[in-house]
Amino acid sequence: MEIIKTPIEGLVIIKPRVFADARGFFYESYNEKTYREAGIDLHFCQDNKSKSSYGVVRGLHYQLNPQSQSKLVSAVQGAVWDVAVDLRKDSPTFGQWYGVELSEENHLQFLIPQGFAHGFSVLTETAVFAYKCDNLYSPTLERGIMYNDPALSIDWKISADKAIISDKDTKHPLLKDAELNF
């Protein structure tokens, strides 16, 4: 397994060791001991999966403390453009975002620590997306930031006229008006 650092402290891309041959492939998608030895010492307690069509944008979502969530995410089928936004007020990269393509071909994982908003757009006909979370979902502490906040200028890698957004995600505030406690 290879840990790839990003320009934002705490955000890392994980490239698993993939064993491939004529039959297909195998890789270990998570091993607590291996991850801990690599400096990722999280206890995951909830797994989620979603399936979405091309153009769907989900996000930007986060939970407030004390139920903030770290997420280990990957694309099981298809491809997504995955984005994390730093919401840690004292961070030198507060308000900055980083994106990475996750796909069934590249097998990459993206580790998003607590204190970040998260979202993704679907780049293929469909995508199945997996999340491991280190805190349980809490509807009362769930928050969001507008996916197209001009201050963030996120490139979702799809044209705006093709974007499919849930009603809920169109009502999030801009980052400057968001409730944060990180």
Residues with active-site annotation: 61, 131
Around Cβ 42, how many Cβ atoms within 10 Å?
18
Site of tokens 């780049």: 123
From the number of C-beta atoms within 10 Å of its C-beta (0-12, 13-18, 19+), residue 134 rates as: middle
* CA dist., res. 111 & res. 114, Å (int): 10
Hey, what are 80's tokens? 């997504």
Q: In whole angstroms, give the CA distance from residue 11 to residue 9.
A: 6
- Tokens in use for 153? 């200028």
Cβ-contact 121, 65 below 8 angstroms: no
User: 22-26 long-range contacts, Cβ below 8 Å, gap at least 24?
Assistant: 25/107
Whether 8 contacts 111, CB under 8 Å: no
